[in-house]
Structure 1
Amino acid sequence: MVVLAGALIGLAVEYHILGWSSIPGNSCGGRYSPCPEGTGPTLTLAFVCTFAGIFGAIGAIIWFTGHRPGKVLPPALLAAGALLVLWPGWQAFLWMRGPVLDLAWTAVPDRPATVRGLGAWTVGEDARTVVRARGDALIAYDSRDGDRRWVLRAPVRESVCGMSDTVVDGIGLVAFGRHDKPCDTVWGVDVRDGRKVWERDVKGVTLYQAAADGLLAADKGVAVAVADEAVHGYGLADGAPRWTTKLTEPKNVEPTDDEVECEPEAVSAAGGTTRVVVNCETFLDFRSAWLVTLDNTTGEERERTRLPVESPIDTATVISAEPFSLLLDEEDERGVSAVLSYSGSGGDPVQIPLTADEEDLQIGQASYGEGFLARPALTAVVRGEALVVAATRPGSDAVERVVAYSLRDGQRMWHADLGTSVVALAPAGDGELAVFGANQRLWTFDAADGERRGESDGATVREVAGHISGIGQLIRADGTWVFVNSDGDNYPPVLAFRP
């Protein structure tokens, strides 16, 4: 009896310590700052064991001393019971808590405070280095400890206005422009050491915001940059000019007496080809829109497919270079607003509407024009032949659903309702993806069938409340998860958490 009472007291002390210490900042609760998993049961058991242990110990000692007088043995038995239960109590706490990830490091805030993140790259297969681009510089962080590896400053009075979507053979492309001037200076940057390898001036496109995506692309041996009515190809390693392709409207389109201008809306390169989304207009009227495929070696046109639009393109964002998937939204409210999937067979693309009977797809910054302007952190991931994207249910504004569609036929494959807002999606292992929620939980799904890996409730990410902005990019770096914030003043520009 005395040993049992001691065990209850030991559990009470242990669970009070574990329960209260698990609360970040001594405060939690609510939709956006929930208490860590298991906190409620742990503290409930702590109070139950407290009262049961105290009253049980009093009764047990009275009973024990009535049968065997002495003052030394009862405290010893209480202590023995408390010690014996510590390990089982710890195991029970781990079961109630479930898997957790702890904050590993945070980077120092941005200075000056006015700059904002425009995009991010990873270096190497294990993403040992994460490069965050902001208006005035590229800054590389070690994903293991958050140390700055290098800083590459923008030219005087110029700001970052474009980035390639990928790094190829250690080279990333970044473009700069002056205030209210075209985005016309392109650098090839060795992201392993932050060295500018080459520089080229192009007749850059004029932007209507600080930066834009789809201006640059990189593939094996080639760097691609868009300009007014043209696309330029350069050597990836040395920046040597390779080819220039003028963008024009095909001759089989109905002729007009007005001058037709064909402007590139987005560019992407993969597998030896470059794809360019082209919008052709006269001064007053829309003419046509095309997906033009170029040979990376020569710049010659391989294929041209008419896009299914009848009004100017409002949004054209490449979700995946291979397999090629394009978010396309035209100005006509009754027109195309969908993700287009191209199989490469030359046929009509598969269309996945942004608004369907079951949900509305929410593809992050591409839909709202916020956050990482040069390389958007989309809440959409292509894994194999599946497009996995955040969504809202009909009649709701809360982005609390993740849904997968087949890129082959556009059919809905699976969905999962999380009960919290989706903050970021990221690839995670072979055929898997991770979803980070506003309640500081991380889920892992099989992209093919939506099966949840590990705990169905996901893993709790501790001590990150107040460190995560609503706009950011999640990156898997070996055994660490790195989160890159757009706002690096009110939040850490980069932080990491791991088991």
Structure 2
Amino acid sequence: MTESTNGGGAVRPRRTVRWGAALAVTAAAAIGLALITGFVYLVMPGYLPGNAMTTVWEAPRDSEAAEGGNGTWLVGDTVVRSRFDGATAFDVRSGKRRWEYLVPSRAETCGSSADTAAGVALIAFREARPEEKDCVTVVAVDLTNGRELWRTTGVSAAFLDDVVTAGGGLGVLLEGGRLRAVDLKTGAPRWTAPLPKGCAPHGLGLAPKQVVAASMCGTEATVAAFDPVNGTTRWTVPVDARRGVDADAELSVASADPPTVRVHEADGSGLSAVLAFGADGRAQSRIDAVGDYGQIFTTVVEDGRLFALAGPGKRQGGPFSGVVAFDLATGGELWRKGGGGDAFDVADGRVTVVRPSYKNGDLMFVVDAATGDEEDERAFRDRVAGAGAVLAHQDLVVVVGGGEGSAFTVYERW
């Protein structure tokens, strides 16, 4: 430190004053930066670099909502949206329209399913004038260019959600009390399998190794597996031999490999669970729809695991809200991740969850599918009104709206 004197000999510490002022300015700047950062993070979510999701583009909303047939699929870098009058494909990064397929002008879609590995979608439609009760016509559409590959008629719309089902290179249709399998790309017949007398199919699942059907046969719910090559029945077993399933319960096939059936009884008086079966049809595990994790809503089966969105519901359950993973071989819980969520995607070993929340901010978080460890968490800059489905593609996330007529929005990490 240097000193100076005035004419009377008084000593003044000059450098100490300068250093003190500099420290005060630095401290004030640090506090100001912290306050600004906190304000941006808490009040303006989605504006902090490395922690944000920004909107790339948004598909137009549908002018009409179809009774069935709404679906969104990713095929490479193309996102395809089926709607009431056909399907449209877009470049997932730019939003540029690549192709469009329209059903006849007086028709409307009532069911759709896609095998993204094979690059083919099945779209079922009915004629509006004169009005047809059932979805009797099915077309196969090439998802790479929108070209119609083949069509057939005489289909029965007996499934609650699966008017048509595609997977494993096959298309399976219900036709006059039997299952009819066709080659997805050519429509060539592969096999037919009669359903037991008095059985009404409620759901189908397709995989390269087998086809699985869940049916209600009088007062008994059954699940059956078929050889995908020739349609031979491999086994048929009760969905729940011990407790039984009510005749008015909802059945769906969550997975064909491993065979997994979901049972939902709306009044809450009977069985509501996910049941997995072994390769020989033997009961393997049961995961109740209500537990200390809350009530299970949405489920996805991937790599022998059941991933579920769970939270408080009408049937009670614990205070938890988020994603839970189970081992289908044992039914045991593997991990759980709180934080809520409306929709999620399981791909490439990761679980991507979108949680819209007007009160707490809209978030996306990513966890390791095997361990549940969090890998990423980001805030959406723009409001996410609702999420009915999520599709992850590299650094992009496609969020499908949850309401009628909703399309989708593509976001990117920022």
Specify the TM-score bucket, using the shorter chain as the normaliser: 0.7 to 0.9
Give CA deviations for 1:410-465 in whole Å, capped at 9, x if unaligned.
Answer: 122222321xx4111111432x21221123212222233322224xxx222222x1
TM-score by length of 2: 0.81
Residue 400 (structure 2) aligned to one of 474, 484, 488: 484
Q: Could you tell me which residue of structure 2 aligns to residue 423 of structure 1?
A: 342
In structure 2, do the counterparts of structure 1 residues 337 and 115 end up closer, same or farther at CA, with 3 Å as the change threshold?
A: closer
Which letter does structure 2 place at the counterpart of 1:269?
Answer: L
Task: Give the Cα separation in 2 of the matches to 1:131 and 1:341.
Answer: 31
Provide the alpha-carbon RMSD of the alignment. 3.1
User: SS state of the match for residue 198, structure 1?
Assistant: strand
What per-residue deviation string (whole Å, max 9, x for no partner) do you get for residues 316-343 of structure 1?
Answer: 2222333332211257854321101123
Q: TM-score, normalised by structure 1?
A: 0.68
Amino acid aligned to 1:185: T
Structure 2: which amino acid aligns with 1:410? G
Match of 2:371 among 449, 456, 459: 449
Asked if 2 retains the 8 angstrom alpha-carbon contact of 1:228 and 1:264, the reply is no
- Note closer, same or farther for the CA distance 1:16–1:268 as it changes in structure 2 (3 Å cut): same
- Which of 216, 221, 236 pairs up with 1:289? 221
The higher relative CO (CA closer than 8 Å, separation ≥ 6) is in 1
Give a deviation string over 1:233-286, Cα, whole Å, max 9, x none.
11222112333222114xxxxxxxxxxx222111111124211112223xxxx3
Letter of the 2:363 counterpart: R
Structure 1 residues 312 and 332: alpha-carbon distance in aligned structure 2, compared to 1, 3 A threshold: farther
Letter matched to residue 211 of structure 2: T
Tell whether 2:334 aligns with 1:413.
yes
Moved more, 301-310 or 475-484: 301-310
Q: Which residue of 2 aligns with 1:337?
A: 272
Does residue 1:307 correspond to 2:229, yes or no?
A: no
Closer, same or farther: CA 235–348 of 1 in aligned 2, 3 Å: same
Structure 2, unmatched stretches of 5+, are: 1-17
Residue identity (%): 27
Flag the structure with higher helix content.
1
**Residue 172 (structure 1) aligns with:** 121
Q: How does 1:222-261 map to 2 (within 5 A)?
A: 222-249=170-197, 261=198
Select 1:475's aligned residue among 391, 411, 414. Answer: 391
Assess, with a 3 A threshold, how the Cα gap between structure 1 residues 216 and 393 changes in structure 2: closer, same or farther.
Answer: same
2:306 corresponds to 1:387: yes
- Structure 1, unmatched stretches of 5+, are 30-34, 40-93, 250-260, 364-378
Q: Aligned equivalents of 1:492 and 1:175: distance in 2?
A: 19
Which residue pairs with 1:68 in the alignment?
Answer: none
Question: Cα deviation per residue 1:366-405 (whole Å; 9 max; x = unaligned)?
Answer: xxxxxxxxxxxxx323342321211125857987232222
In structure 2, what is the Cα distance between the partners aligned to 1:398 and 1:146? 40
* Larger strand proportion of the pair: 2
The aligned counterpart of 2:380 is 461
**Where does 1:123-272 land on structure 2 (aligned, <5 Å)?**
123-124=75-76, 128-164=77-113, 166-178=115-127, 179=131, 181-205=133-157, 212-249=160-197, 261-272=198-209
Change (3 A) 1:206 1:156: farther
Asked if structure 2 preserves the Cα contact closer than 8 Å seen for 1:143 and 1:496, the reply is: no
